[in-house]
Amino acid sequence: MTDVYHEVMRTIWDHNLHFGLWTSEEDESSNRVAAERMTALHIDKLGARHGWRVLDLGRRVGTSAFRLAEASHADIVSVSPCADHVRLANVRAEALFVDDQVRFVHGDPHAMPFCADTFDAAWAVETLPHLGDRAGVLRELARVVKPSGVVVVSDFVQRRPVSQDVLDELKPALTTYDIDELPTFAGYPKLLAAAGLRVVELLDLTAETRRTLDRMRDGARRHYNALVAAYGEKAQQYLDQLLSPIALQPSLGYVLAVARV
């Protein structure tokens, strides 16, 4: 079955579906370079190394997990709620000859199929917004990571709290992109603490990632007709919500959190 979301985003953005990171207003890096820079920042904050066992909380075909394995030489286990994505990611691991280092398993992020204290570290790169019950997923990450282990997560937030009217206006876009809700930046340490995680660093990367939506919108305009012709109403929903003025709501932001169990 065609993953319409993946095809749309790959066309208007890049094969690496994560947000990009630009270093300044003058930085004109390509989408791919900016997205790889964001992945590299996550890898640096996680600090994994050879001999570690790391949990990747993923959703699609494992791009971040492969980058982490290559950079850190750690052993990676990625869990995803989508069986089709797990199957494709394992095929990809075999094709890349890293299936002895990177393994993908099907599981519920709210009740992961691992014993307590299994991993040296864990990360969730822009995964939490799409899973619902962030607190429950974060508790699971805290459970399966060893004491003093590192947990790195990135998330979409309200940089400043917005009114209920704005949230109501955002609802169609959030629903289309499978985002349950938007926590506040100021409230994020409490969210992590409630899950048993101690904040080490909290980065507001809103300014550095803002160009992502601009680039996605440009791509959506350029490829709109071709994508709708190829993938129909579902593609149109993704594109229309991305092109809606509410998508540029200035109070929306991006957070990267580093925590310890």
Q: What is the pLDDT of residue 250?
A: 87
Q: Is the pLDDT of residue 60 over 80?
A: no
- What's the pLDDT tens digit per position in 212-226? 999 999 999 999 999
Q: Is residue 85 very low, low, confident or very high in pLDDT (cuts 50, 70, 90)? A: confident
| Higher local confidence (pLDDT), 85 or 36 | 36
∠ Cα 135 71 191 (to 5°) = 15
pTM equals 0.94
DSSP state of 15: S
CA distance 222 to 228: 12
Question: How does the average pLDDT of the chain come out, rounded?
Answer: 94
174: left (phi over 0), alpha (psi -120 to 50) or beta: alpha
First to last CA, the chain: 39
- What's the pLDDT tens digit per position in 166-207? 889 999 999 999 998 899 999 999 999 999 999 999 999 999
